[in-house]
Structure 1
Amino acid sequence: MQGIDLSRGFYADIVRPWLNEAAPGLRHSAALMGYGSELLGFDDETSRDHNWGPRVHIFVAPEVFAEHARRLVDDFSRVAPSNYLGEPIGWRSRPHPPANGPQSAGALGDGLEVHTIEALLEGHFAIGSTENLTPAQWLGFAEQKLLAFTSGAAFHDDDNRLGEVRARLGYFPDDVWFYKIACQWRRIAEEQAFVGRAGQVGDDLGSRVIAARLARDVMRMGFLLERRYAPYSKWLGSGFARLPIAQPLLPHLQQALLAGHWPERQDALAAAYLELARWQNAIGVAAFEPVLGPYHERPFTTINADDAVAAAHAAIEDVWIGQLPIIGALDQVSDLTPLLEDPRRSQSLMAAIT
């Protein structure tokens, strides 16, 4: 059984009936979100050694939390079964222990947590609300955290408040999206000729490393063009394989990574860039005429990525975003996990470079 299904049943069979008796009429939302491979449907037997099992997050209004949350957590700990469908409900070596804070409460002995939505947003994104988010804030959100927040499942949602919050974070506003597309093409533009240049001087390892970096850039561009948040590195390939755009790209990327000689490697990557451009034109976003050819007078196959950058940048209407240097959003300038997972550091970094 997948973790999402296990937790959905845990809420329906155990938590909800108990909640109806412990706090009759309590208006709440219930979901599983925030962390865990099961949120993306990638959990398997290996996933069960930590951060896996029957668990549910209950969301209530701040005034309700103040009145009921601690009592509910204590009461559930006394009556909760030791397991559900053969799986223990306690924390098993989880690096994410149950939340406890001014508006978050949980216990080690079971998988129930009580939160306010406001506390979840503050801890996950360093924001108090999803209303009127600024472009600067959007640029400081890590895609892997946006994905974790908007994936998973809601099991119950009185007033649809949780649903509205998740919908507002469903994807980047258009101008932020155009900016990220421009910056992703810029990343490709910066290194695409180096696969050949490193290979030309006999540095085959260096050529392969650069090719792998560019393959990753192609994959992340695929997520952008599909308007999907990219997961962190462990599940990047698995998530990419699910995208429609992956089908024409995968043969080229595999060839690039397996090629024994740099000319074959660079040509396979160039074919992948061309597929990206065709896809971008087909969806009617920042269209440009793609051209493959030598890098100036050097014999390295490249695409006219500068034209792609210019086309995406020209689509931006927001004045503030339009004047930004073509550097990138948070996860385009760093893939350092402690930075991407710390929302305050994330926002501070982007404030410093924009």
Structure 2
Amino acid sequence: MDDEELLKQLEAFTDRSETIAATGNEAADDTQVTDKLGSESANKSVSEPNDERISNPPDQPATFDVHAFLAGLDAIFDAHGAATKAGPYLEQAAVDAENARDNAGLLTVLNETMGFYRSQGRHKDNQWVIQRALELALRMGLEGSEAWTTTLINAATAQRAAGNMDQAEELYQMALDSARHTLSPTDRRLAALHNNLSMVYSETNRNDKAEAELREALRILESSSPNADTDLDVASTHTNLALVLLAEHRLNEADQQATQALNIYRNGHLEHSAHYASALAGAAQVRFTAGDYAAAVDLYRRSLAVIDECYGRDTDYYRVTEENLRQAEAAASADTASATNAGTDDATSSASVLSAAVQPSTESATAMSAVPSALSASSARAAAQPISDTPSSSNSTTDSPSPISGLALARAYWLTYGKPMIAAKYPQYQGRIAAGLVGHGSECYGFDDAISHDHDFGPRFCLWLTDDDYAAIGAQLQADYDALPHECMGYTRIDATTATPRAAQSSASRRDGVFAIGDFFESITGYRSAPADDRPHEWLMLDEATLAAATNGAVFADPLGDFSAARQGFTFMPDDVRLALISRRIGMMAQAGQYNVPRMLERGDGAAAWLSINEFVHAAASLVFLMNEPVTVGYLPYYKWQFAALRRLSLRVATRLADVCEQLESLLRLSSTACYGGAGFGEGGRGAAPAIAQVNGIIEHICAEVVTELKREGLTRSDETFLEWQRPYVEEHIQSDATCLRSL
């Protein structure tokens, strides 16, 4: 296909509609790569055949018609048959596109599948689809194109729905960078991107940033819409904004935004759109917070009816909304009973106020300890992945608690007990106290599992205060923290009687409770705040495992931003220090791996060779993190979790040296035979020789990859693969005169 014919194909898809991915109405997966990419379907096949594809019989060439595929998928959604028909349809379409060797068509199918799997809560299945779509787009050379931008948006949205916020934010930022070159300032996909990024900020307690993103999305949409009063995407963004304002306790403004969204659906006769369900649910959230429980019940019921019609009942979206309805019904019943007991008959439902979707409420906010969660996603091809503002504590007496990660348990404990305690006892400080879980413990890295539950596992969190606030209320707040219920979701909190010595609460290195911000970081790093850039020797005294412990975990709330600022300071390793460490790591890889491993093996000193391999592996693992920059990917943790962290980093998009992890694991696996195999032992009786050859080959292969990456990053001009000779080239880029940053 020549350029002129391809251009015609590209233009043929520009009229397919695109809808906004948003908290209330999310449809980033509807942002079609076929809009600007097109599909080499019909009787054509792409010029880059996929080796995994099935060969076509020469006399019966397979074809894939992307027009027919999208039309068929739309028909399924329009007939509300997605729950049972969309999955098989998408799976067959992927096979058809594979058989036709139609890369563009396959990418379209994968983008649609990402959105559908998200709507069905099939987040584990979606990880493979996400990875495949990104790899395919890169293999097709789409970087810098609109198709690449939209694929990034779709992948990020799927990761956000799966709760993988770090990956989602990274992908959204990549999409923003791409969009600056590929989308016009009024492109509606740019609004979709801002909507989606706002969700990440909202779900990680950065509501100010979330609001800013939504305001920008609304500006783009209103400026590009032929009629903003009937525009579904504008309505979606109003719903999103309502929920963010609600989280900021700006009830009246939230009410106005929610009502405006519902009015747009009414004006445009869009009440049967799947998006309408989220607008209704968002309005219900506002009414619930305002204490208008009867109206919340009515709105949640109407939302459920739309979800049932569009998605069916076997979805996360339906289950979450149904749970929200139950909470609203319980509150409404309690409210009615209270009014009856008070001898009044003024318990009339006010459902008509907002269900009519005409007038904004003028009621003030009512303090609530249990607010149903806002739906954080919906569309014709998406569904909710909500996060409840106050997790249920109904499992607190369960004999066999459901498995849960330490960070999730910490967040639940904070929301269930910590946050209400602060609101009740320290109202003047609730806008000043940061909360989260950071520091030592496998749960702070997200690596804990069922085995981790056998020691030092239980509900806990940290509270961080400024020095002045700690002096004023620190002791009393610690006492109130200690007095919180010791059970949450079936797990018992650890204390001095149940903790191992390392985690004993009486020790100076306690892992939870109340801290002054500076004291907390000093207990981990020895510094109350990160060293200054002009003190490289202090940075070099901080090993990576220490910095990993100071910057891991999650922050649940930080209204002042002081804790997050201090924590972030430790992520900003000065580039001169990073370069010095890169030089040290490649020096150790050369000395231990390239020089000493073969020498020790030749001498027959298996123990020395094994230790040399260990030094090489540690240096290489550290180098991968340093080359990917700690401010982006964090630091290599201590030895126990190094490979868990390395595997996780290797799965991220655009990771440098991504395959080094697998090679290092192969190296370790071969080490036993290479170092201690001897003649006639191991490897089918051939002795250690084959393993030794593989060990040396892996080491040299990794070192060659490192040189390639150093050249790609502009850190060397040399092709020399013995890494010791690369050190002067790397150190040329160090700006500081500090002698501690350079090799001898």
TM-score range, shorter chain: 0.7 to 0.9
Q: How far did 1:99 drift? A: 6.1
Evaluate the alpha carbon distance shift between residue 64 and residue 51 of structure 1 in structure 2; reply closer, same or farther with a 3 A threshold.
same
Deviation by residue 1:121-153 (Cα, 9 ceiling, x = unmatched): 322222233373521211111211211111100
- Superposed CA RMSD in Å reads 2.4
Say whether residues 1:188 and 2:589 are aligned partners: yes
Give the secondary structure class of the aligned counterpart of 2:462.
strand
> Which structure carries more strand by proportion?
1
Counterparts of residues 1-354 of structure 1 (less than 5 Å): 1-26=404-429, 27-78=432-483, 80-91=484-495, 92-94=498-500, 95-98=502-505, 113-130=513-530, 132=532, 134-191=535-592, 192-228=594-630, 229-244=635-650, 245=656, 247-257=658-668, 258=670, 260-261=688-689, 262-282=692-712, 284-291=713-720, 303-321=721-739, 324-326=741-743
Q: Tell me, in whole angstroms, the C-alpha distance in 2 between the residues paired with 1:316 and 1:112.
A: 39
AA matched with 1:202: G
Evaluate the alpha carbon distance shift between residue 77 and residue 24 of structure 1 in structure 2; reply closer, same or farther with a 3 A threshold.
same
Q: Tell me, in whole angstroms, the C-alpha distance in 1 between the residues paired with 2:641 and 2:480.
A: 37
Deviation by residue 1:42-75 (Cα, 9 ceiling, x = unmatched): 1012212223211111111222222212222223
Contact 1:30 1:156 in 2 (8 A): yes
AA matched with 1:286: L
Q: Tell me, in whole angstroms, the C-alpha distance in 2 between the residues paired with 1:127 and 1:254.
A: 35
Q: Tell me, in whole angstroms, the C-alpha distance in 1 between the residues paired with 2:666 and 2:420.
A: 54
Q: 1:297 matched to which residue of 2?
A: none
Deviates more, 1:211-220 or 1:233-242: 211-220
Deviation by residue 1:240-262 (Cα, 9 ceiling, x = unmatched): 11223464224533443315322
Evaluate the alpha carbon distance shift between residue 58 and residue 275 of structure 1 in structure 2; reply closer, same or farther with a 3 A threshold.
same
Q: Tell me, in whole angstroms, the C-alpha distance in 2 between the residues paired with 1:8 and 1:24.
A: 20
Contact 2:657 2:709 in 1 (8 A): no
Note the residue ranges of structure 1 that are not aligned, 5 or more in a row: 292-302, 328-354
Contact 1:288 1:307 in 2 (8 A): no
Q: Tell me, in whole angstroms, the C-alpha distance in 2 between the residues paired with 1:140 and 1:65.
A: 29
| Displacement over 4 Å in runs of 4+ | none
Deviation by residue 1:268-310 (Cα, 9 ceiling, x = unmatched): 210011112222322x14123333xxxxxxxxxxx32233111
AA matched with 2:644: S
Contact 2:703 2:722 in 1 (8 A): no
Structure 2-normalised TM-score? Answer: 0.39
Contact 2:438 2:549 in 1 (8 A): yes
Q: How far did 1:159 drift? A: 1.5
AA matched with 2:427: P
Give the secondary structure class of the aligned counterpart of 2:503.
coil
Q: Tell me, in whole angstroms, the C-alpha distance in 2 between the residues paired with 1:266 and 1:112.
A: 46
AA matched with 1:9: A
Contact 1:290 1:304 in 2 (8 A): no
Give the secondary structure class of the aligned counterpart of 1:189.
helix
AA matched with 1:60: L
- Higher-Rg structure is 2
Evaluate the alpha carbon distance shift between residue 14 and residue 285 of structure 1 in structure 2; reply closer, same or farther with a 3 A threshold.
farther
Deviation by residue 1:66-99 (Cα, 9 ceiling, x = unmatched): 2212222223434x22300000123232322236
Q: How far did 1:32 drift? A: 0.6
Q: 2:678 matched to which residue of 1?
A: none
Contact 1:226 1:243 in 2 (8 A): no
Contact 1:99 1:113 in 2 (8 A): no
Q: Tell me, in whole angstroms, the C-alpha distance in 1 between the residues paired with 2:532 and 2:598.
A: 46
Q: Tell me, in whole angstroms, the C-alpha distance in 1 between the residues paired with 2:706 and 2:583.
A: 13
The count of corresponding residues between Structure 1 and Structure 2 is 306
Q: How far did 1:8 drift? A: 0.7
Give the secondary structure class of the aligned counterpart of 1:120.
helix
Give the secondary structure class of the aligned counterpart of 1:193.
helix
AA matched with 2:456: N
AA matched with 2:660: L
AA matched with 2:418: V
Q: How far did 1:112 drift? A: 5.7
AA matched with 2:667: A
Identity rate, percent: 23
Contact 1:34 1:148 in 2 (8 A): yes
Evaluate the alpha carbon distance shift between residue 90 and residue 201 of structure 1 in structure 2; reply closer, same or farther with a 3 A threshold.
closer
Give the secondary structure class of the aligned counterpart of 2:435.
strand
Q: Tell me, in whole angstroms, the C-alpha distance in 1 between the residues paired with 2:569 and 2:539.
A: 11
Q: Tell me, in whole angstroms, the C-alpha distance in 1 between the residues paired with 2:505 and 2:743.
A: 40
Contact 1:150 1:166 in 2 (8 A): yes
Q: Tell me, in whole angstroms, the C-alpha distance in 1 between the residues paired with 2:538 and 2:571.
A: 15
Contact 2:731 2:742 in 1 (8 A): no
Q: Tell me, in whole angstroms, the C-alpha distance in 1 between the residues paired with 2:622 and 2:481.
A: 43
Q: Tell me, in whole angstroms, the C-alpha distance in 1 between the residues paired with 2:492 and 2:567.
A: 29
Structure 1-normalised TM-score? Answer: 0.79
AA matched with 2:595: A
Contact 2:643 2:661 in 1 (8 A): no
